[in-house]
Amino acid sequence: MRDRAGTDGHGSDSHPALLTVLSGPSGVGKTTLAAHVREAHPEVWLSVSATTRTPRPGEVHGVQYFFYDRPTFEDLIAKGEFLEHAEYAGNLYGTPRQPVEQRLDAGQPVLLEIELQGARQIRTTMPEARLVFLAPPTWEVLEQRLRGRGTEPEDVIARRLAVGRIELAAEPEFDVTIVNTTVEEAAAELVQLVTEPVARA
């Protein structure tokens, strides 16, 4: 684990960072890791995001996501119902504000699993949050994941790889990096971070 706490100039308190944001490049395994944490550590509350994308087989409204049509989602944005929101691959995604604030007020650790634009918004609006970057063990591992099953045309793969390189370059913006070597090890590191106080210099 690479820890940049104390070097980011975000205040001098040593209160627990109850809000943790897990982000990182597409394909690195954020969702698998977050699901693992949810099952193994129910004391950590994993936020359920809203999205305009179509549910995948097996996804249930209110469990993996709240699925809304675009006008409904835009109405929620206008009403200030999201802590952050972003457009990703043609769909809107956002973190419902109220359930997160309720848990934080009750002192429960909260984990958000979101893409980079949303993480940057949280950095600005909630500077006390701890931002965790999930990194692949090597570029080759991420490349394999982004190439997928090899059924996509080369131009689609090239675009994904270019985006992957840009996303990887965001790592220094984060407080801590966890390398996703195995999901068990990464989950143990993440849970330790989520439930322990942060000591910022």
Task: Looking at residues 49 to 78 of the shown chain, list those that interact with ligand 5GP (rule: CB under 6 A).
Answer: 49, 53
Nearest distance, CB of residue 13 and ligand 5GP, angstroms: 26
| Consecutive H or E run containing 186 | helix 183-195
By C-beta, is 84 or 200 nearer to ligand 5GP? 84
CA distance 74 to 78: 6
Q: By the 8 A CB rule, do 56 and 67 touch?
A: no
| Site map 78..117 versus ligand 5GP, x via CB under 6 A | ------x-x-x----xxx-----------------xxx-x
- Which residues have a Cβ under 8 Å from the Cβ of 152 and sit 6 or more positions away? 160
User: In the set 5, 26, 35, 177, which binds ligand 5GP (CB under 6 A)?
Assistant: 26
Query: In which order are the strands placed within the sheet that holds 91-96?
Result: 65-67, 49-51, 91-96, 82-88
Binding site for ligand 5GP (CB under 6 A): 26, 30, 49, 53, 84, 86, 88, 93-95, 113-115, 117-118
